[in-house]
Amino acid sequence: MSKLTFNTLDNLNHFYPAVAAVVSVRGGERPNALACAWHSALSFRPPLYGVLIAEKRFSHHLIVEAGAFAVNFLPFEKAEKIAGVGRNSGRDLDKFAAFDLQTEALPDALAPILQDAYAAYECRLVERHPCGDHDLFVGEIVRAYLDESAFDAESVLAVERLHPALYLGADLYTTTVEAPPRRLRGK
């Protein structure tokens, strides 16, 4: 007999954990940032990355106006910053000041790149698709920034040196364990 039982569609957090990211944007009177667990690489050529953001979010219209955004990946030790930008609205406060978000000095960057990031993608908005209660923003990655010490020779995140912030849903964060990764290949 199956151990699965019927579940309502009220709470769909079953696909987590997901790497938490901070999406940043220039726009309006000041830059803004929001936490995002719904994001994904979409294509290598051209290099496309997608983020899903609800229209009610303050950053939504800023991305539309700016035509650009950045996706910043922060380590688990910065999870409080991720949670802070996720649980507060840029309508109400300057998140960069409130959560001490320092940016790289990149005057020609399309969007703020966070100093705490171990990787960041600077994206030019190329498409926007409504997807239910969220919009999928498709950005072409125009520049990628990496802390090379966080990656191995194959450009794989070295989780024995840097632990990514993983979002579990319901405001819960975790990270990878100390065990080394195992390379598994199907037969």
Tell me, what's the pLDDT at 13? 75
Least Cα distance to 62 among 39, 42, 89, 38 occurs for: 89
Whole-number Å distance between alpha carbons of 151 and 159: 8
Whole-structure pTM value: 0.92
Q: Give the mean pLDDT of 141-158.
A: 95
Looking up tokens 């209660």 gives 133
Name the amino acid, one letter, at 68: A
Kindly compute the dihedral angle of the four CA atoms of residues 27, 134, 23, 109, in this order, to the nearest 10 degrees: -50
Which of these ranges, 6-10, 102-106, 159-163, has the smallest mean pLDDT?
Answer: 6-10
- Digit-coded pLDDT (tens) for 153-181: 999 999 989 999 999 998 999 999 766 66
Domains within the chain, CATH numbers bracketed: 18-174 (2.30.110.10)
Tell me the average pLDDT across 55-84: 97
Residues 107-125 have a mean pLDDT of 97
Residue 79: predicted pLDDT: 95
Q: pLDDT-derived band of residue 2, with 50, 70 and 90 as boundaries?
A: confident
Whole-number mean pLDDT of the chain?
92
